[in-house]
Structure 1
Amino acid sequence: MRTMSQRPTTPHTPAPGAEQHPALDFANSLLSLPTGPLDLLGTPEEATAWLLGHDLAPVGGRLYRPCTDRLHRLRGAVRELIGARTADAPAPPEALAAVNAALTATPSAPLLHWDAERGLHRALPHPADRIADRAMAQLAADAAELLTGPDAGRLAACGGAPCTRFFVRTHAARHWCSTRCGDRVRAARAYAKKRAANPS
């Protein structure tokens, strides 16, 4: 398995915990930057590259827009569940259903289908669907482990606005997902203090 250092570079380093939990990196793939939002899975090509970089798709595999849209919906559900966990709030039922659906979406045998041309027949899903289904099943399984395992109690939302990333706390006093976010918060506080001292 490739390490994070061998993955394609992204504008930000992974949040603490993302190396152990691809689902956390998946949830954080929609970034909120001071310059605006950045979606690392925005296009089918970007989504394919992200899955390849996380060993969740075969080399040469390719996603299309419908599968990319499904990934976006699963990411939204995972983000909702992590957000609820960090806020000690009930898990949203729709998000639970979406993750559970992804967990059970990968068939282990050809399923029965019917159409007017071929009648009753058995077939596996389209190859592109299989790539997405398998990746989503793995991400959903990792999200379930993250949300119920030993790291669940250390999940936190970054306190450095406008950042919307989640991370696993490395110590109780940690409030930010990165040094960059911490520096930005400290700089904003220093600026606000200076303004308050010199209102003119």
Structure 2
Amino acid sequence: MDETVTEELDLPPAPGAEQYHSLALANSVVALPGGRLVDLLATPAETNRWMTERGLAPVDAGMQEMCAAQLHVLREHLRSLFASHVAGLPARPTALTAVNDALTKVPTAPLLQWDERNGPYRATPHPTGEIVDHALASLAADAADLLAGSDAVRLTACGSAPCNRYLLRHGRRHWCSTRCGDRARAARAYARRARTDEA
């Protein structure tokens, strides 16, 4: 059984995760050897930091458990959509609905505001709940752009078990990191030696 732990993870972003925040979100829970999972969004503070690093929330947004839970739910739906795409299977309707709900939940344009001293201006209000809604909409739009755009053909799952991260493939590379590539090569070498020993 997998055990979810909170720890610093010395693992570079998977290829494409810096370009697509939705890919980074999908990869924010990482499967490690030994059945361990590292959740980079395990606490509201970690969620706030993750969102701040990507320009999705201010440093002082004050994420609460409910905010982190909303991001976790979207993450699972994105992982489902990415898995469906990689496997060439139809998407789960609940995952599509979740992404479309996130896309349509926030205003599409800044609202008209009025400041007594400076007069009218346009801005998007950002109380904590709306920050989360805007972040979810941004991540959902990012995922939709990835899945419906030209990079979709490069989307793949890391080819090194037990890794569960997704990446944008470059050439023949099917690993999210050097560490996973080394592990996959070592496993292949071990399998070849075992076949030779049996012969």
Residue 50 of structure 2 aligns to a residue whose secondary structure is helix
Residue 177 of structure 1 aligns to a residue whose secondary structure is coil
Alignment of 1:7-86 (within 5 A): 10-35=9-34, 36-86=36-86
Whole-angstrom CA distance in 1 between matches of 2:125 and 2:106: 9
User: What number of residue pairs does the alignment pair up?
Assistant: 177
Whole-angstrom CA distance in 2 between matches of 1:133 and 1:153: 29
1:61-100 CA deviation, whole Å, 9 max, x = no partner?
Answer: 1210011111100000011111111111111100000001
Aligned-partner residue type, residue 21 of structure 1? Y
Whole-angstrom CA distance in 2 between matches of 1:197 and 1:87: 32
* 1:168 corresponds to: 168
Aligned-partner residue type, residue 47 of structure 1? T
Identity of aligned residues (%): 51
Whole-angstrom CA distance in 2 between matches of 1:152 and 1:191: 33
Cα RMSD for the two superposed structures: 2.0
Scaled by the length of structure 2, what TM-score is found?
0.82
* 2:182 corresponds to: 183
Scaled by the length of structure 1, what TM-score is found?
0.82
Aligned-partner residue type, residue 14 of structure 2? A
Whole-angstrom CA distance in 1 between matches of 2:90 and 2:197: 45
Unaligned runs of 5+ in 2: 1-7, 113-123
1:14-50 CA deviation, whole Å, 9 max, x = no partner?
Answer: 1111111111111100100114100001111111110
* 1:159 corresponds to: 159
Does structure 1 conserve the Cα–Cα contact (< 8 Å) formed by 2:21 and 2:142?
Answer: yes
Unaligned runs of 5+ in 1: 1-8, 111-123
